[in-house]
Amino acid sequence: MIKRNLLVMGLAVLLSACGFQLRGTGTTELAIKELDLSARNAYGETVVMLRQVMQGSGVNVHAGAPYKLILTDEQETRRSLSYSGAGRSAENELTSVLNFQILSHDNLVLLTDKLQVQKVYMQDGNNLVGSDQQAAEARKEMRRDLVQRMMLRLQLITPTQLEQLQQTAEAKAKAEADALEAAQKAEAQTPRQSPLQVPTE
């Protein structure tokens, strides 16, 4: 019994040393300590939940932060997986896709990515209220999963990586600006041809 307890404790120590946490326990430590957060739907449930989780993880979420996380689009689709004998949908799959960007303080796009989660729920044609409740619960779980995956995604990003992305974005923006300026100069230096004069008899 003692050996088994020691083994369990040893595994727990090893897992915690690797940064492993059970779902719903503890907080997700982020290397980014300041972040601005916005969304197309500023009062949507996903962005509200994400802001709460980020603040609970020690992130200072405010408008003057050096980096911005923007939830650019959130879409949900539903498809039927199986049908009941009466021809009504009996099993549905919900898919939610969250597109996001991370921008610099001067609005350069540093990172564009998306997250996707899926849930299956049963729909009873004879119990529409119960089916609607199952669908609503599935959507809540998907929203929690999206927020958790976003936190895990942010956990992988370090300030050093953001600085490198910033330098790359600035170099790209400068190259594009230089190319545009060169094209404008070339156009300005190109002599304008006068329209052809048709000789009159």
Token pair recorded at residue 141: 């779980």
- The 10s digit of each residue's pLDDT in 42-73 is 889 999 999 999 999 999 999 999 999 999 99
Model-wide pTM > 0.75: no
Q: Which domain holds residue 36?
A: 25-157
Confirm whether 177 is domain-assigned. Answer: no
pLDDT for res 174 = 87
Confirm whether 80 is domain-assigned. Answer: yes
**Overall average pLDDT of the 69-95 stretch:** 82
Q: Is the pLDDT of residue 153 over 60?
A: yes
Confirm whether 1 is domain-assigned. Answer: no
Number of domains in the chain: 1
Confirm whether 149 is domain-assigned. Answer: yes
Helix (H, G, I), strand (E, B) or coil at 103: strand
Confirm whether 143 is domain-assigned. Answer: yes
Q: Cα 53–132–52 angle (5° rounding)? A: 10
Q: Is the pLDDT of residue 24 over 80?
A: no
- CATH number of the domain enclosing 53: 3.30.160.150
